[in-house]
Amino acid sequence: MSTRQGGAREEILGRIRRAVEGAPEVEIPRGYRTTTDVADLVELFAERVRDYRAIVHVLPAAGVPAKVAELVAGRSMIVPDGLPAEWAAPAPGVDPRSADGVLTGCAVAIAETGTIVLDTGPGQGTREQTLVPDYHLCVVRADQVVGGVPEAVARLDPARPLTWISGPSATSDIELNRVEGVHGPRTLEVIIST
Amino acid sequence: MSATFLGMPGDFPTNAARAVKDSQLRYNLRKATHTIRGKRAAVVDELPDWHELRAAGKAVKDETLRHLDRYLLQLEEAVTAAGGHVHWARDAAEANRIVADLVKATGETEVVKVKSMATQEIGLNEALAAEGITAYETDLAELIVQLGDDFPSHILVPAIHRNRAEIREIFLDKMGDAPPGLTDEPAALAEAARLHLRERFLRSKVAVSGANFMIAETGTLVVLESEGNGRMCLTLPETLISVVGIEKLLPTWRDLEVFLQLLPRSSTGERMNPYTSTWTGSAEGQDFHLVLLDNGRTDVLADEVGRQALRCIRCSACLNVCPVYERTGGHAYGSVYPGPIGAILTPQLRGMSSELDASLPYASSLCGACYEVCPVAIDIPEVLVDLRAKAPHGAAERAGMRVAGWILNDQARLARAQHAAIRLRRLVPKRLPGPLSAWTDTRDLPEIPDESFRDWWEREG
Ligand code: SF4
């Protein structure tokens, strides 16, 4: 750190200390919900993901391999290490810049907002692998679905880079017309394994 | 961009009068603000605990500001421990210098950017250009603004003053690789932008971003977006430089549970924005630099009434309900921070020595709608009234009288102003605030039925 930088740091901290001197302490009221009372997490999650115009399949675990095989047929797919072997054979080396799509699991899913969170852990690939291809197929296990945002935040590890996905890439910048996909996968397909 | 936005000429009344005459602009603004407003109300009503979340959001931010020195040091330590580098910038010039030096050190002459109000505030693109570095905006709306050699006019939809035909013209004129048969279909325009930007993303070595939140406890940065250009910028380049205002801190990881509910619903009216990225230090081997920006924020912090503006999470809900913004658009405010929040934040950050900045606290009918929707409960009318008292007389009063004339020449506007006066009675008893007092000094305020603001807004808004 240069001397000039040290000067800026000390000066800003000094200004802050003078600015808040004598200001009252603040109590944070946490009366909001930290658990979400949802009768059927999977059903709500599926409904909310569909609201984003993503494609959703709800299947018993035994049906997942056949569905995955059907959906990836004919596509060059990135399949990262760490997915259950029965879903698909790993194909981690495919170049994301030429791949048609990527198959992943997830870290957590949120029913109330229809959100999938990736944390680059096993079966989730790198951030680049899930971003550049145009098609993302994600398998969510029912036990990964939580009710609301607080439950998800509590389960996640901030040391890992996280990507929260709520529907495909979208823009509303042109006269507020929603257009799917400027960057990021334009098609998001989700299999919920029950 | 050829000119720095901060130097926009004129004062608010002059700019506003020009904008009000532009019927295309008024039509676009009305459509945009009413659409987002409706969506916001629907998704906010879905949450039974909205009031509790709002109270928590307000208090978390106040607590952060109260101990900002401590939390910034904690952040610095956590970012550094995770392999990142932290830089401190007292003002715009210092921040621009730091970023330019970091870019030069990589040997690159191009950077990609994800929409960042902080870098607009400091005029980073212009400062980099002066050093031979080209900064490319990658948010679709920002791309439209940049190619059109124009200024953003809304926090959330910066190109809302442009219609599809204009956007097509801009692309054909300035994009170089736009397909010659380009139509003005939004999907076709978005596709052209996708192709144009994709090449750039894949070859860029350096990216510049802002951040919505920084977590002191963990050193984590958080960016919310829709298009994926954020993910592209944050993930692909070898070097990432984030320029963030010192007020964007949250103390703990857990605090995200509040703000990831408040922000998307207030902003785009969605339950969640399509993409949120979080990273801590040098994620996946990237070289990460965080530039902490003061640039007037500590002056705002020193003002007991005005400091609440630093709670702002830039959701834009206050713009979308503001009857003045709806008619004038963002350019009239002459700042990257338009609408009600801009009317209090800009004069506080920049001082009120220019006629424009002195006139901004008058760019409001004080109807209170902005306070009602603000997810962190910033009492914008209270700060406006306080700033009016502090503005240098002369210029500000002239500006104020002209805004007053504009409000008073229409019955509906007058009703709103009166209603605001009711809300503000504890501050300005029996008189309309500011320059409107000339009018009430000779008249009694009519009785206003006692109804909630929400009911009134539904009926009149
Ligand atoms: S002042 Fe409040 S409503 Fe306006 S942009 Fe900031 S947080 Fe949103």
Q: Is residue A40 part of a domain?
A: yes
d(CA B142, CA B155): 11
pLDDT tens, B43-72? 999 999 999 999 999 999 999 999 999 999
Q: Read off the pLDDT of each residue in A126-138 and give the average, rounded to a whole number.
A: 95
Nearest Cα to Cα of residue B264 among B215, B228, B224, B231: B224
Q: Is residue A167 part of a domain?
A: yes
What is the DSSP secondary-structure string of B84-103? -EEEEESSHHHHHHHHHHHH
- Three-class SS state of A185: coil
pLDDT tens, B95-119? 999 999 999 999 999 999 998 999 9
pLDDT of residue B17: 73
Q: Is residue A16 part of a domain?
A: no
Q: What is the largest CA-CA distance in chain B?
A: 70
Tell me, what amino acid is at B111? Answer: V
Domain ranges, residue A116? 33-193
Q: Which of B62, B154, B268, B318 to mutate to test the pocket of ligand 1 (most atoms within 8 A of CB)?
A: B318
pLDDT reading at B449 higher than 60: no
pLDDT reading at B419 higher than 70: no
Is B24 in the same domain as B162?
yes
Q: Is residue A150 part of a domain?
A: yes
CA distances from A176 to A18, B28, B33 (A): 45, 9, 10
pLDDT tens, B213-224? 999 999 999 999
Q: Which residue has the tokens 């008292």?
A: B389
d(CA B344, CA B352): 11
pLDDT tens, B130-165? 999 999 999 888 889 899 988 888 888 888 888 888
d(CA B335, CA A60): 55
Domain holding A60: CATH number? 3.40.50.10420
Q: Is residue B281 part of a domain?
A: yes
What are the chain B neighbours of A27 within 8 Å (beta carbons)? 59
ipTM: 0.95
Cα dihedral B25/B27/B29/B30 (nearest 10): 160
CA distances from B110 to A132, B122, B149, B379 (A): 21, 18, 18, 41
Q: Is residue A147 part of a domain?
A: yes
User: Which residue's CA lies nearest to atom 7 of ligand 1?
Assistant: B312
Domain holding B200: CATH number? 3.40.50.10420
Q: Is residue A20 part of a domain?
A: no
Pocket of ligand 1 contains residue B264 by CB under 6 Å? no
**Two structure tokens written together for B161:** 């003053």
Q: Using a pLDDT cut of 70, give the percent of chain B over it.
A: 82
Domain ranges, residue B447? 402-460
Q: Is residue B27 part of a domain?
A: yes
Segment holding A192, helix H or strand E? strand A187-193
pLDDT reading at A37 higher than 50: yes
Pocket of ligand 1 contains residue B44 by CB under 6 Å? no
Q: Which residue has the higher pLDDT, A60 or B151?
A: A60
Q: Is residue A10 part of a domain?
A: no
Split at pLDDT 50, 70, 90, the class of B413 is low
- The alpha carbon of B302 is separated from its chain's Cα centroid by a whole number of angstroms, namely 21
What is the DSSP secondary-structure string of B357-419? HHHGGGS----SHHHHH-TT---HHHHHHHHHHHS-TTHHHHHHHHHHHHHHTSHHHHHHHHH
pLDDT reading at B395 higher than 80: no
Q: Is residue B238 part of a domain?
A: yes
d(CA A165, CA A167): 6
pLDDT reading at A67 higher than 70: yes
Average pLDDT for chain B:
85
Q: How many domains does chain B have?
A: 2
pTM (2 d.p.): 0.89
Q: Is residue A6 part of a domain?
A: no
pLDDT reading at B347 higher than 70: yes
Which residues, other chains included, contact A74 with Cβ-Cβ below 8 Å and sequence gap of 6+?
A: none
Q: Is residue B206 part of a domain?
A: yes
Q: How many domains does chain A have?
A: 1
Cα dihedral B6/B11/B13/B17 (nearest 10): -70
Last residue of a domain, one of B240, B267, B298: B298
- Lowest mean pLDDT of A149-153, A168-172, B246-250, B315-319, name the range: A168-172
Residue ranges with strand state E in A119-168: 135-141, 145-146, 162-165
Last residue of a domain, one of B234, B267, B298: B298
Interface test with A, best of B33, B39, B47, B69 (most A CBs within 10 A): B69
Most confidently predicted of A26-30, B160-164, B427-431: A26-30
Q: Which residues of B90-112 are buried (b: 16+ CB within 10 A; e: fewer)?
A: bebebbbbbbbebbeeeebeebb
DSSP state of A79: B
Establish if A155 touches chain B: CB-CB under 8 angstroms: no
Last residue of a domain, one of B264, B298, B332: B298
Establish if A27 touches chain B: CB-CB under 8 angstroms: yes
